[in-house]
Structure 1
Amino acid sequence: MEKQDIDRELREAIPWLVWEIWKARNSTLYAAKTNSPYFVVATALEEAKEWLQQQALSQQEHSQSLQRQVIGERFWTKPATGKLKCNLHSSWIKNSFHIGGAWILRNHEGDAVFHARDAFLPMVNRLAAELQVILWCLRSLNELRIISCEVWSDSRAAIDALTSPEEYPKYRSQIIKIQQVIRVMREVSFHLSSPKANSLAKDIACSVTREGRFTSYLARGGPAWLHNRIESERRGRR
């Protein structure tokens, strides 16, 4: 692994290769399964590449988040007159836990119109979780006959995947489903939010993973326990 003349992706795939050999050994001993060594190597390389890509995305997102905070994009702002603004968030811990999802819809005066919360089955990573929550959110809005709104997420990877889907082939199925809902609605635009400006949606979503609130619901207005913060943002207080 320390030999610099060997390609980095090959060197860093060694732990996955060892793991795939171990799994192949067990399936041979306990399930009498014949494993192709070519398949074992190919699977290890694919898994390693996926992990490295997600690590790079996570680091990029963290770096860009810090940059946004430096330039001052910190607070939630009202949409233009006549527009609706929907903030959403997915609370993803790791792929063995349920995902928490939430969205809150507000009008140009800053009043909460609707909000919702739900729990979802585990996903492989935060990007897949965020796309799942975006799909759920858009379907909910469409069922409420809301056909035009701004959708704000603090996941840069999710926004990039929706604006440049050809660069995210692994998530093609999820992206196509989102595009199908968008075509039914009149106008949907996606925007990147700072974590601070998206904190209300985040706190509602995290109540699923932190407090085990798995009961889904959709309600008018905003949650009572966040009323003061919603009012503070409506009045523009920091």
Structure 2
Amino acid sequence: MVPHVRWCRPPRNWLKCNVSASWGSHNLKGGAARIVQDHCGIPLFHSRRAFFGHTSIIEAELQSLLWSIRALIDLRIKSVVIESSLIQVREALLKPHEHLEWRHLIDTITGLLNEFDGVSLEHVVAGRNKIASSIAQSVTSDHRYQSYVATGGHTWLSSLLRKEELSSLVRS
């Protein structure tokens, strides 16, 4: 059976936040990204952040998730599905006892999840996280170090957003 790789809608009255990270071991530069969409697949906002000095992919991925969760709380989002294809994050959250070096980040993340009225943290295949991954990779591959928060869809991602929106409409 082939796994479902299209973006899936969150429940009505919930939002979905796709989170990703990119990291270069050669220069310790990384990027984090998130895109928040409503239950119809309409992008509400997206963000990118560059960071420097993270010494491992797991640190970069955990910091990316933490950055996204804090932003969702600051934006007073109450119910959210957080999707990520970050493998290191998945392993760290499922087996925190095996990641003692990152326990402070793991504990902070799990504690902040209690701030939401409704939250679901889900690990998904990379195909369901293409947009956030593209934004995060723009930091490391295109050297886009300027952080931003934008509403709607970004022009260089508009074709991906449109495909995602259409695929979610077909399945409804």
What is the TM-score of this pair, normalised by structure 1?
A: 0.66
Gaps of 5+ in 1: 1-69
Question: How far apart, CA to CA, are the structure 2 residues paired with 1:95 and 1:107?
Answer: 37
Shift of 1:74: 1.8
Shift of 1:72: 2.6
Corresponding position of 1:200: 131
Three-state SS of the structure 2 residue aligned to 1:188 is: strand
Three-state SS of the structure 2 residue aligned to 1:133 is: helix
> CA 1:153–1:95 in structure 2 vs 1: closer, same or farther (change >3 Å)?
farther
Counterpart selection for 1:122 from 53, 76, 83: 53
Shift of 1:95: 5.9
Three-state SS of the structure 1 residue aligned to 2:114 is: helix
* 1:7-86 map, 5 Å: 71-86=2-17
> CA 1:73–1:127 in structure 2 vs 1: closer, same or farther (change >3 Å)?
farther
Question: How far apart, CA to CA, are the structure 2 residues paired with 1:165 and 1:189?
Answer: 18
Question: How far apart, CA to CA, are the structure 2 residues paired with 1:103 and 1:116?
Answer: 5
* 1:204-215 map, 5 Å: 204-215=135-146
Question: How far apart, CA to CA, are the structure 2 residues paired with 1:92 and 1:210?
Answer: 10
Shift of 1:120: 1.1
Given that 2:32 and 2:50 are in contact with CA atoms closer than 8 Å, whether structure 1 keeps it comes out as yes
Question: How far apart, CA to CA, are the structure 1 residues paired with 2:153 and 2:95?
Answer: 32
Q: Is 1:102 aligned to residue 33 of structure 2?
A: yes
Corresponding position of 2:22: 91
Amino acid of the structure 2 residue aligned with 1:189:
S
Shift of 1:104: 0.3
Deviations 1:186-235 (A, max 9, x none): 23221111111111111111111111111111111221211122121111
Q: Is 1:167 aligned to residue 167 of structure 2?
A: no
Amino acid of the structure 1 residue aligned with 2:111:
Q
What is the TM-score of this pair, normalised by structure 2?
A: 0.89
Gaps of 5+ in 2: none
- Considering fraction of residues, name the structure with more strand: 2
Question: How far apart, CA to CA, are the structure 2 residues paired with 1:85 and 1:110?
Answer: 9
Matched pairs, number = 169
Amino acid of the structure 2 residue aligned with 1:149:
V
* 1:132-147 map, 5 Å: 132-147=63-78
Question: How far apart, CA to CA, are the structure 1 residues paired with 2:147 and 2:123?
Answer: 26
Given that 1:87 and 1:198 are in contact with CA atoms closer than 8 Å, whether structure 2 keeps it comes out as yes
Shift of 1:107: 1.0
Corresponding position of 2:158: 227
Question: How far apart, CA to CA, are the structure 2 residues paired with 1:217 and 1:85?
Answer: 19
